[in-house]
Amino acid sequence: MDALAQSAALENGELSSLELMDATLARIEAVNGAVNAVVSLRDGDRLRDEARAVDNSPRSGWLHGMPIAIKDLANAAGLPTSMGSPLFAGQVASSDDLMVARLKAAGVIIIGKTNTPEFGLGSHTFNPVYGATRNPYDLTRSAGGSSGGAAAALATGMLSVADGSDMMGSLRNPAGWNNVYGMRPTWGTIPNEPVGDMFLHQLATSGPMARSPADMAALLDVMTGADPREPLGRDAPDTLAGIDTAPKGLKIGWLGDWDGAFPYEDGIADISQRALMQMEGMGHKVDTLPAPFDADAMWHAWIDLRSFAIAGGMGLLYADEAKREFLKPAAVWEIERGLAMSAMDVQRASMTRSDWFRKVTRMFESTDVLVLPSAQLWPFDVAWTYPESIAGHPMDTYHRWMQVVIPAGLIGLPVVNVPVGFGENGLPAGIQLIGPRGSDAMLLRLAQQWHKATGWPRAQPPKILG
């Protein structure tokens, strides 16, 4: 059942929270050992006791009595927040992050955490604390990341909705690789934690994941809303209302491989273009657009701003030599780059970001949605650290293979990943639906229209489910 269907069954008495908890724990017992998506799972007897208590209490929201696991980058009181790092393994959170508190207020029962790469760095979910999360469509392959645990848990039915976060495709790449939906909302729609610097680092955001856009919209509406302690947040209208109103005659721009700047594995462009042909059949107009901006300039602005942000957040760990040795090489590389930058380096990167925002704003005067693949290649070997080449093109950093997510992430645009089927290799893929700032509801309506026409998550569940 989708999450909203579960919620309705709980509300009308067709299903109890205890029954749903029993089913959830049974599914986790059956499949999590193979995929390793849910970590820090709480004691089953205590969870059942909480479910019984919820069954006898007034409803507090549409999520009342529904199990959820929180991505292991966010704090949930009483649960470990390892962030995949041995430095924090076993560290138990004393309070909830703002987003988690909002989910609890809507009635969820938090059952554990979902796996993530160390500190969320890299779009491949593996770490020295919990190990790797495997793709449920091929257990030898990556589930993507950094929300790979959440995506694999959704695909296998261990969760019906999940939270994720996205700096560099972490809500988009794993959703595409697990045949589910993931959304990076307009930056500021879900406020960040009101701690540390709250002005400079406008790159990462939390967001919802689900097996349907309607479920994703419902979860997004719980997570959103400005917080007075966070200066750059924004209030946004509910997205679930009107979700089934299909948009008509949208102008969709296919950006292809950005005039050769983004190498793709065989089949990635083809499956994306087949999806666009289906969208034309739904009444939308698709045009192929030339590369609208210098890809190298955008890339260098991105890696500078990203390293600047990571050094700001993790610099104290690096400064402690005893802790530094426990940081993975990607983290050390990012921090050292960030520490070496001058203020004018950051200014130049932000000017490039500003130029791109101005350019894309003009593009959206004549185009409603821009489209790119959610990843440049199919799910790769789970034993790899990262792919070192794509279609014969060497990757010069640990994250260059995800360059395709930069155009939206650099300037905080909303993006919805929609699943678009499977390649000849049997592996799933997705595309990014990118809209102008504040177009979250429109993108979700387009995704829901697509979902009704295709139904990929239900049409082809993972092989592990039999």
Distance of CA 311 to the CA centre of its chain: 22
Give the span between the Cα atoms of 437 and 412, in whole angstroms.
7
* Spatial CA neighbour of 419 closest among 253, 217, 208, 175: 175
Give the span between the Cα atoms of 107 and 97, in whole angstroms.
16
For 69-98, give one letter per residue: b (16+ CB within 10 A) or e. bbbbbbbbeebbbbbbbebbbeeebeebbb
- Structural domains of the chain, ranges and CATH numbers in brackets: 3-465 (3.90.1300.10)
Predicted model pTM: 0.98
Give the span between the Cα atoms of 220 and 184, in whole angstroms.
10
Tens of each residue's pLDDT in the chain, 466 residues: 999 999 999 999 999 999 999 999 999 999 999 999 999 999 999 999 999 999 999 999 999 999 999 999 999 999 999 999 999 999 999 999 999 999 999 999 999 999 999 999 999 999 999 999 999 999 999 999 999 999 999 999 999 999 999 999 999 999 999 999 999 999 999 999 999 999 999 999 999 999 999 999 999 999 999 999 999 999 999 999 999 999 999 999 999 999 999 999 999 999 999 999 999 999 999 999 999 999 999 999 999 999 999 999 999 999 999 999 999 999 999 999 999 999 999 999 999 999 999 999 999 999 999 999 999 999 999 999 999 999 999 999 999 999 999 999 999 999 999 999 999 999 999 999 999 999 999 999 999 999 999 999 999 999 898 7
For 381-409, give one letter per residue: b (16+ CB within 10 A) or e. ebeeebbeebeeeebeebbbbbbbbbbbb
Q: Which residues face 253 on adjacent strands?
A: 287, 370
Contact in structure between 203 and 188 (CB atoms under 8 Å): no
Phi, psi values for residue 138, rounded to 5°:
-165, 105
Give the span between the Cα atoms of 135 and 155, in whole angstroms.
9
Contact in structure between 115 and 40 (CB atoms under 8 Å): no
Contact in structure between 109 and 17 (CB atoms under 8 Å): yes
Residue type for 225, please? Answer: G
Contact in structure between 349 and 304 (CB atoms under 8 Å): yes
Helix (H, G, I), strand (E, B) or coil at 141: strand
At 370-429, the pLDDT tens digits run 999 999 999 999 999 999 999 999 999 999 999 999 999 999 999 999 999 999 999 999
Peptide linkage before 17 cis (omega within 30 of 0): no
At 191-243, the pLDDT tens digits run 999 999 999 999 999 999 999 999 999 999 999 999 999 999 999 999 999 99
Q: Which residues face 285 on adjacent strands?
A: 251
**Pairing outcome for strands 415-422 and 181-184:** antiparallel
Tokens 């560099």 — which residue?
168
Proportion of the chain above pLDDT 70, given as a percent: 100
Give the span between the Cα atoms of 396 and 385, in whole angstroms.
13
